[in-house]
Structure 1
């Protein structure tokens, strides 16, 4: 409750949990003793009686995160409560191998060792990979844009860095993060689409549960066909969504190479160049077709766009909404909210941290770190 809901008074925790005051008092005391929470005095409310202390999740309890992509490796440090302490984006000259990724991450973390030892308690490391991942053992079965296959990533990174490591698909982690801390908070049925240099990934919450599929690879939405005459995709098919709605094609008309998400925002949203507007409009119209299909399949309450798809949306939200409305059943499509991910460039970092914090939240007293 503290991690996902923010600081709350003991009285609020009592009401929200349905437990009695003495039980909440004992639980808070235990969490404080474990170093997972701390209390502060509330502001003077002017009311009679002793005010209820405010309980906070300990932000110095942290997860290290890694997100490798075709153009950069991003390393993050996230505290309980979803607090982003630090994020480093290391741009690469070429698509990084597993060994190169580990070397970069090792160098960045070595530079943080003294700070980590003196100011933080590290629970572990979470890695968000744009590909098919066996989350149980951290094996990357296939990350086509990175040219990684059958890589025992969790085992390799753990051996190199010495932290417990968990690995999962980047879009699935982003879906979790946005549902807990962003635009999807409180929504039980949503579809999330993430756009990055590696392509488009997705995730779906159905009745509050992540849709995983028989092998854990559900919601590979970027490989939905949207153009039967389209170009060949990495997956072997033609006309996939991620080949038509594509960051590389957007950067080409902007005359740019690799660029961070925050910089892309300003360039896309503010551009009045005819060729840029034409490409933005083309991609929005194709994206609308895909969203219309996904709305018919999943019947979500909310549709959330992250990564460069959020920049596209921001360039002309009304065009996208109108196009989606044209290609969906009125009774199904009219009530769907289309939003940009609130976590923006923090999304994958927060999502990878959530992967690490899962065990701690399940068993706070039994987790050693």
Structure 2
């Protein structure tokens, strides 16, 4: 929920930010809705929209007036030519996408790469950026690069402190991308960015308190939205649900943590039981939901049991309104409808459990890329008149 505006000229930056953010979050918002949601008067909204249009950040259009009485209010939408580069390195690939304001994934490039190093990743991204810029419209402008990393990323400077599945330690990823591409770059944890994307554009819209858990090739991560805002932690490392204690069996996960959720709930185990060696998120989902093999059902049930233990702790501690499951965790949930809820209900405190519901992530395979793009768009959304874009 955006902060309410103020018509004082001294807070013009705040008001521009509030209006652009609303248009970004809802590309069908009208001027009258902007007036209502910001608390500003109509003439102030008209001036702010006009300034954002002159900056090339929004466009106005006439709405469909067939169902309206009286003069319709113009629609204020993000300019389609304002773009970000989104990046998601994983253990088996690096995905790079072009994302527009409003959370639209316009094009993606997936480069297969087994355990890409930081140098490999930067090189792949630099080449893909050249390709994406060549294919973009001539009028398009870039705000920068956002990277969703499966690991612990320091919020202050985009240094990847520890990405155990990739084998990265203290990697200055953001700085290296700036050097290689000439574009501003920022990096953060992939699941935390995914939580923000779902909160803005997906299943979490309208919810002030939600938990997001994502399962990918590089393990399990998560994000927390409390009071409508992301919870990052002191250094930006909050939400590592995959490394919480969930089993008593021997063994340590990739980070060295004993008994963690990632030991028992793993994408690779689902691939094994399905008899395949690799699959993207959509293919894994289709195969898992389409299988009636007993061994597959047993593995789904086994992994859900351990996921239920972790979610019991999350719900009892954080009391969310909503738990959103993404990646292969969403596939597990969909493969046995209602089973996860029943497992958690049997273990969690009744009062907080009664207030929570479970949902699959709505953004699908776009989720992490949309979240990474939000990271790149953040400076522009905070200061629309003070951040320069770069011609694509």
Tell me the TM-score normalized by structure 2. Answer: 0.91
Deviation at 1:218, TM superposition (A): 1.8
Name the CA distance, whole Å, in 1 between partners of 2:183 and 2:322.
36
Superposed CA RMSD in Å reads 1.4
1:126/1:356 contact within 8 Å kept: yes
Alpha-carbon displacement from aligned partner over 1:228-278 (angstroms, at most 9, x marks no partner): 114221222222101110001111111222211111111011100111111
Identify which of 137, 157, 162 aligns with 2:157.
137
2:98/2:132 contact within 8 Å kept: no
1:130/1:171 contact within 8 Å kept: yes
Number of residue equivalences: 368
Quick one: structure 1 residues 299 and 49, their matched pair in 2 at CA, closer, same or farther if it must change by over 3 Å? closer
Q: Which runs of 5+ in 2 are unaligned?
A: 1-21
In structure 2, the partner of 1:323 is: 343
Name the CA distance, whole Å, in 2 between partners of 1:320 and 1:115.
44
In structure 1, the partner of 2:191 is: 171
Secondary structure of 2:83's aligned partner: strand
Identify which of 292, 311, 318 aligns with 1:298.
318
Alpha-carbon displacement from aligned partner over 1:306-345 (angstroms, at most 9, x marks no partner): 1110111110121111111111111121221111111111
Name the CA distance, whole Å, in 2 between partners of 1:301 and 1:23.
36
In structure 1, the partner of 2:35 is: 14
Deviation at 1:346, TM superposition (A): 0.7
Tell me the TM-score normalized by structure 1. Answer: 0.96
Deviation at 1:44, TM superposition (A): 3.0
Query: 1:198 and 2:188 equivalent?
Result: no
2:58/2:78 contact within 8 Å kept: yes
Name the CA distance, whole Å, in 1 between partners of 2:233 and 2:65.
51
Secondary structure of 1:118's aligned partner: coil
Name the CA distance, whole Å, in 2 between partners of 1:48 and 1:267.
50
Name the CA distance, whole Å, in 2 between partners of 1:247 and 1:3.
34
Alpha-carbon displacement from aligned partner over 1:272-322 (angstroms, at most 9, x marks no partner): 011111111110111111111111111111111111101111101211111
In structure 2, the partner of 1:255 is: 275
Name the CA distance, whole Å, in 2 between partners of 1:2 and 1:318.
36
Q: Which runs of 5+ in 1 are unaligned?
A: none
Name the CA distance, whole Å, in 1 between partners of 2:67 and 2:292.
54
Deviation at 1:358, TM superposition (A): 0.9
Name the CA distance, whole Å, in 2 between partners of 1:328 and 1:247.
25
Secondary structure of 1:218's aligned partner: coil
Deviation at 1:42, TM superposition (A): 2.0
Name the CA distance, whole Å, in 2 between partners of 1:75 and 1:118.
20
Quick one: structure 1 residues 28 and 271, their matched pair in 2 at CA, closer, same or farther if it must change by over 3 Å? same
Name the CA distance, whole Å, in 2 between partners of 1:88 and 1:364.
29
1:68-107 equivalence runs, <5 A: 68-92=89-113, 94-107=114-127
Name the CA distance, whole Å, in 1 between partners of 2:317 and 2:347.
13
Secondary structure of 1:112's aligned partner: helix
Once structures 1 and 2 are overlaid, which stretch shifts more, 324-333 or 106-115? Answer: 106-115
In structure 1, the partner of 2:170 is: 150
In structure 1, the partner of 2:182 is: 162
In structure 1, the partner of 2:23 is: 2
